[in-house]
Amino acid sequence: MADNGIDRGTSGLGSSKKRYSAFSLARNAMSYHQNWQQAWRHAEPKAEYDAVIIGGGGHGLATAYYLASVHNMTNIAVIEKGWLGGGNTGRNTTIIRSNYMWDESAAIYDHALKLWEGLAQDLNFNIMFSQRGVLTIAHSWGELRDMSRRVHAIRLNGIDSDIMTPEQIKDFVPTINIDQNIRYPVMGGFLQKRGGTARHDAVAWGYARAADDLGVDIIQNCEVTGLKRSGRKITGVETTRGLIKTKKVGVVVAGHSSLIADMAGVRMPLQSRPLQALVSEPIKPILDTVIMSNAVHMYISQSDKGEMVLGAGVDKYNSYAQRGSWPVPEHMLAAAVELFPVLSRLRMLRHWGGIVDTCPDASPIISKTDVDGLYFNCGWGTGGFKATPGSGHVFADLIANDRPNKIAEPYALKRFETGYLIDEHGAAGVAH
């Protein structure tokens, strides 16, 4: 199991869950898969908890899991207004990488990547983590030069990153078009071999099952309607299923962070925008890596089912409508077809939008607030999935100890007053 010097908490599962293995799969096949143990309980909310996490997506469930496994806080609950992983956790394009330029970003995203390596063993859940590499393409000389600067900065932080020529890219990805006479020609690129994909739903389910095993109550269909305060202190959470008393509340609700912040009288510098993705009909394997292009805001990979998974850039106006605006995928698909002519007759099966909370500096907010016991983990914008384990790990530490650790510290809300921004807009090589 990967170790990397991180306190991963209790390893594997406790005694209340039967372990998943090839053997258990065979044994359950004998009874037509009718007797699998329930992965997590449908918990009823108790009157009081030591901590309540609002938001049952990947980040929220990871937070709960690490609170229980690393910090021994097991009298906690995760409350979710819909169903587990039904928000942005189930709407992203599952890409994982840590090739960010600034030191602060490298620290948190690589912390996450180290947790990804070994997460399936930690959780005893096949999250289908596949380090198939993430290749970011440059389409102009200017972009290529800027990319080499970034690659060197990334390597100085000990994160693997290699520049590739168009010929090497063609060799690595035979379906790509490296003709220099197209609108977005391939001028070069850089590869993070440790990057890749994981099955997003499995990440939510794996964390939920492991957290439940440690005693965490996971309460679905329970919407927060208000936050109860006594002076400057949090005392409880009002929900559609009654009042839940608690002294610590961790808010991990992505696109709806501003609304929960309003309930507490806290302001966040966030703008909620739709981020769109598309999935094609399944085809034979043609792409065994992840391709990203920042100039066109396009990223593409192929799922294990054979579907091409394409993601676009964020929409240009705020919206809570989970559908998005047409010009965005139109532009992205035009570039995708030019880069991969083989896709030209592919039919898209599904198209959706998720509401992401974008921050002015394209970096997250992991922070205490002016209200004692109220913590926010938000602002991940368009790139939160890759950080799921790392985000949960440092946020759990913040909630348990009421002070940020070294990795989380730069992400405090205060940075918008001090000016110590972590400006990842251009720096990360992000089609965020």
Partner 1 sequence: MLLINCPHCGARDEAEFSCGGEAHIARPLAENSINDTQFADYLFFRHNPKGIFLERWRHAAGCRKWFNAVRDTVTDEIIEIYPMGGLPKSKAGKQAHAENWRRASAAEKAAMPATKGKK
Q: Contact residues for partner 1 (CB under 8 A)? A: 256, 258-259, 267-272, 316-321, 325-327, 360, 416-418
- CB 362 to partner 1: min, Å: 13
- CB 264 to partner 1: min, Å: 13
CB 280 within 8 A of CB 349: yes
Name 276's Cβ contacts closer than 8 Å, sequence gap at least 6: 311, 312, 315, 324, 328, 329, 351, 352, 353
Q: What sign results for the dihedral spanned by CA atoms 239, 91, 381, 318?
A: negative
Contacts 24+ apart (CB under 8 A), 239-242: 239/45, 239/79, 240/81, 241/45, 242/45
Give the relative orientation of helices 58-69 and 200-213 as an angle to the nearest 10 degrees.
30
CB of 166 or CB of 353, closer to partner 1: 353
- CB 340 to partner 1: min, Å: 24
CB of 127 or CB of 278, closer to partner 1: 278
End-to-end CA, the chain? 30
CB of 104 or CB of 361, closer to partner 1: 361
CB of 352 or CB of 416, closer to partner 1: 416
CB of 34 or CB of 418, closer to partner 1: 418
CB of 220 or CB of 319, closer to partner 1: 319
Give the relative orientation of helices 388-401 and 103-116 as an angle to the nearest 10 degrees.
100
Indicate the pairing of strand 365-368 with strand 348-358: unpaired
CB of 313 or CB of 392, closer to partner 1: 313
- CB 396 to partner 1: min, Å: 26
- CB 105 to partner 1: min, Å: 19
- CB 315 to partner 1: min, Å: 9
The C-alpha atoms of residue 67 and residue 400 are separated, in whole angstroms, by: 7
- CB 256 to partner 1: min, Å: 7
The C-alpha atoms of residue 40 and residue 59 are separated, in whole angstroms, by: 17
Name 259's Cβ contacts closer than 8 Å, sequence gap at least 6: 253
- CB 325 to partner 1: min, Å: 6
CB of 171 or CB of 370, closer to partner 1: 370
CB of 176 or CB of 413, closer to partner 1: 413
Give the relative orientation of helices 58-69 and 388-401 as an angle to the nearest 10 degrees.
50
Name 193's Cβ contacts closer than 8 Å, sequence gap at least 6: 131, 133, 160, 162
Rg (CA), the chain: 21
Name 224's Cβ contacts closer than 8 Å, sequence gap at least 6: 54, 79, 81, 237, 238, 239, 260, 263
CB 137 within 8 A of CB 292: yes
Name 180's Cβ contacts closer than 8 Å, sequence gap at least 6: none
- CB 22 to partner 1: min, Å: 46
